[in-house]
Amino acid sequence: MLKALNTESATDLAEISDEELMSRYRDEGLEFLFNELVHRYERELYRYLSRYIGDPALAEDVFQNTFLQLHLKRGLYEDGRPVRPWLYAIATHQAVDSLRKVGRHPTVSLDQKAGRSDREGEAANLIDLLVGDDSGPLSELQDQERVQWVRDSVERLPETLRQTLILAYHQDLKYREIADILKIPVGTVKSRLHAALAKLQQMARVAKRDEKE
Amino acid sequence: MRKNDAMNADESLDYLLGNLEAHERGVFEHRLQTDPLLSERLDQLGASLNRLLDDGLTHDPPEGLATRTVAFVAQEKGRKIHRPFHDHSTGRLPYRWADVAVAASIFFVGVLTILPLLQYARDRRNHAACAFNLGQIGQKLTQYASLNSSYPYSPDARPDDPAGTFAVVLHDAGLLPDLAVLDCPYNGACEHPVAQLPRYEDFKGIRNSDPERYRRLTGLSDYAYHVGYRHPTGEIGPLESRHAGVIPLIADKPDHDDHEAVKPGNSPNHGRRGQNVLFSDGAVKWLKTRFVSPQDPDIFLNNDNLAQPGTHAQDSVLLSSDTPFQGK
Ligand SMILES: [Zn+2]
């Protein structure tokens, strides 16, 4: 019976937007609608959680709990509200929670300064930094060394910068979606992103200097 | 001019990260065609971002993740009370065998999709069972330490006795009735755990009389044990009971190369993803790396990077049961 329902709906399902799926799941509670949402976000959300948390097993737990929360909170869903940022917000919340439970406390202190500074001038300096440094301090590293450097260095970023960086660069989310997920102004998203890049570039320079010594 | 550069800079980054609106994008792309300098800078910026951020990881989801998730939620729906998010540090796990059976009966799941599901449930159960084992041994170690001045060590104070002697000592003290707790159920390597342990007096004798049996006995456990540290007198000796604040006592054992040296990386017991570690306060934690604390950066090596007793009381070193207390 359930299977028949699944097969019947399979063809049209792909046409339905995330938002409509969510509204219908809220109202009708049918498994196949939920199933479709989980499958749509399987790769994308797992990639996010796995990179953010750094532990595949824990990422899987958080993934499962994120969708449990989506199910439990379905009554709160408002028609037309974009599902992607909502889902990411739940996932991020669950991820931070789980990191705390395993003893990694994401630092929440941060760059209040950055939000207020002159972003335009800052961006120009940042780009100068990024393109001006001969061919970039990392270009001399072997690829294997470089990716290891990236992993280690991103890991050392303050939590909020790392979070924003992953959402913007690796997950390809728009600034306003990130703002929605993290409940911060769009300007803060940009300043965090710039701060993250500037910090990484600074670390790269230091790494290069150390190597020369 | 400066203002203009700033605008370009901001826009370039936004453009690369896909954050320009359709019309802004059109304008920017037109500028790119007419301004070779801008276009060159954009290429450099793109390459620079890639060098700085590409971590070479793809993070593909494990097989059947979505299916397991739907089953998990279906099963949670069935209960009125929601358990809190499970806590890795205690090793309690939310998804067990029985749960899979329930989920499977609720859902139509083909045989092919349920197999990874069962494998997964088995892994999770074994992971929890490993933490349980460590907790059991931990209680006995605590009991032993409260009755003696130190944690189990070679009764003859012979640093060349194997670290696994701790099990013989516990057993002699009547504190290890069930030898199955010495086997990490996750790895499947120690399929035939030692059925019986000799007393320490006989254990010593076997070393010369029956080297083959001695070898089997010393390899008895999948767990590594705290081999003590160098005391201020210069002698190596056991972890003293009074020192045990929160110190790792036993853990999934390290990996060894052909020369029995400790290899880098996590324990092979859990697919090198990390190790379960029992601390002297009785907590079992899952450590994803060998790092314990700044005073003790490597659980399997001492602060001189050797698989030998610690350089001080806070520098814990856990060695495989067939490695001597004094290390290699
Ligand atoms: Zn284990």
What DSSP assignment string belongs to B61-80?
Answer: PPTTHHHHHHHHHHHHHT-S
Residue B103 amino acid letter: A
Q: Tell me how many domains chain B contains.
A: 1
- Distance between CA B217 and CA B191 in Å, rounded? 14
pLDDT at position A73: 93
Which chain B residues touch A54 with a CB distance below 8 Å? 288
Residue A10 reports pLDDT greater than 50 = no
Q: Report angle CA B137, B142, B143 to the nearest 5 degrees.
A: 95
- Residue whose entry in the numeric block shows the structure tokens 């409260």: B146
Q: Where in chain A is the domain with CATH 1.10.1740.10?
A: 2-101
Per CATH, the number for A110-212 is 1.20.140.160
ipTM of this complex prediction, to 2 decimal places: 0.84
Secondary-structure percent of chain B, ordered helix, strand, coil, rounded to 5: 45, 10, 45
* Contact between A163 and A92 (Cβ < 8 Å): yes
Condensed to tens digits (0 to 9), the pLDDT of residues A86-115 reads: 999 999 999 998 888 877 755 543 333 344
Q: Which residues of A touch B288 (CB under 8 A)?
A: 54-55
Tell me, yes or no, whether B206 lies in a domain. Answer: yes
- C-beta atoms surrounding A170 within 10 Å: 18
Sheet strand arrangement including B248-252: B284-287, B275-279, B248-252, B223-226, B318-319
pLDDT at B217: 86
Q: To the nearest whole angstrom, how far is the Cα of A50 from the nearest Cα of chain B?
A: 6
Distances (CA, A) of B166 to A16, A85, B203, B219, B298: 63, 53, 12, 12, 21
Q: Given 3.40.50.720, 3.40.980.10, 1.10.1740.10, 3.60.20.10, which CATH number is that of A2-101?
A: 1.10.1740.10
In the predicted model, what is the mean pLDDT of residues A30-50?
91
> Does B73 contact A67 at a Cβ distance shorter than 8 Å?
yes
| Residue of B48, B56, B274 with shortest CB distance to A131 | B48
Q: Out of B14, B57, B76, whose CB is closest to A51?
A: B57
For residue B196, being part of any structural domain is answered with yes
Q: How confident is the model at residue B231, as a pLDDT?
A: 85
pLDDT category at A122 given cuts 50, 70, 90 is: low
In a domain, B10, yes or no: no
Total count of residues recorded for chain A: 213
Q: Which residues of B touch A47 (CB under 8 A)?
A: 58-61
Hey, are the CB atoms on A136 and B18 less than 8 Å from each other?
Answer: no
Residues that place a CB less than 5 A from ion ligand 1: B 130, 184, 186, 252, 269, 276
Highest averaged pLDDT of the listed ranges A9-13, A98-102, A194-198, B66-70: A194-198
Give the number of other Cβ atoms within 10 Å of residue B204's Cβ.
Answer: 19
Report pLDDT for B46: 85
CA distance linking residue B15 with residue B67, whole number of Å: 37
What mean pLDDT value characterizes chain A?
81
SS3 per-residue string spanning B167-182: HHHHHHCCCCCCHHHH
CA distance A62 to B94: 12
Residue B302 domain-assigned?
A: yes
pLDDT value for A204? 86
List per-residue pLDDT tens for chain B, 328 residues long.
444 555 577 888 898 888 888 888 889 888 888 888 888 888 888 888 888 898 888 888 888 888 888 888 887 776 644 444 444 433 334 444 455 555 555 454 444 455 555 566 666 667 777 888 898 899 899 889 888 889 999 999 999 999 999 999 999 998 988 888 888 877 755 545 566 788 999 998 898 898 888 888 888 889 999 999 998 888 899 998 876 678 999 999 999 888 888 998 899 988 888 899 999 888 888 888 899 888 889 999 999 999 999 998 889 999 999 999 999 8
Cβ pair A127:B288 closer than 8 A: no
* 0.80 exceeded by pTM: no
d(CA A140, CA A129): 17
Q: Which residues pair with B279 in a beta bridge?
A: B248
Q: Is residue B1 part of a domain?
A: no
pLDDT value of residue A89: 95
Nearest to B27 by CA among B38, B40, B17, B37: B38
Which 3-state string (H, E, C) describes B260-310? CCECCCCCHHHCCCCEEEEECCCCEEEECCCCCECCECCCCCCCCCCCCCE
Question: Which residues in chain A are classed under CATH 1.20.140.160?
Answer: 110-212
Nearest CB partner across the interface for A197, out of B14, B52, B73: B52
